[in-house]
Amino acid sequence: MGASVPGRAAIRLGGWLLAALPHAAQAEHDYVADVEFAIDQVEQQCGALLRSRDIDWRKATAPFREEAKAVRPRLPRQRRRRLRP
């Protein structure tokens, strides 16, 4: 049962990271740097827990790093002007 807790935590973290990416896409950001920062902060704050549960943090966060590289900003839609007759 203890093994499932880190798995759920990783899933929650992944959900949080992926939820943050679309918001970051609205402005011009370095998405990879944002994700790296979040991953590093979790590792700093939860490093003891990750080590006690034998979680390979680099391996667990690899999909998030790849996902951040694939994010492309969405440009705002241009409003079309209607020509009046």
Question: Which pLDDT tens digit goes with each residue over 76-85?
Answer: 666 666 667 6
- Residue 61's closest CA among 29, 28, 37? 37
Q: Which of 61, 73, 78, 79 is nearest to 10 (CA)?
A: 61
Instruction: Dihedral sign for Cα 14, 28, 72, 69, please.
Output: negative
Q: Which domain holds residue 48?
A: 4-16+28-70
pLDDT per position as a tens digit, 33-82: 989 999 999 999 999 999 999 999 999 999 999 998 888 776 666 666 66
Q: Are 9 and 55 in contact (CB under 8 A)?
A: no
Residue 54, domain member (yes or no): yes
**What would the two tokens of residue 80 be?**
């079309």
pTM across the whole model = 0.54
**In the structure encoding, which two tokens stand for residue 53, read together?**
């549960």
63 inside domain: yes
How many domains does the chain divide into?
A: 1
Is 81 among the domain residues?
Answer: no
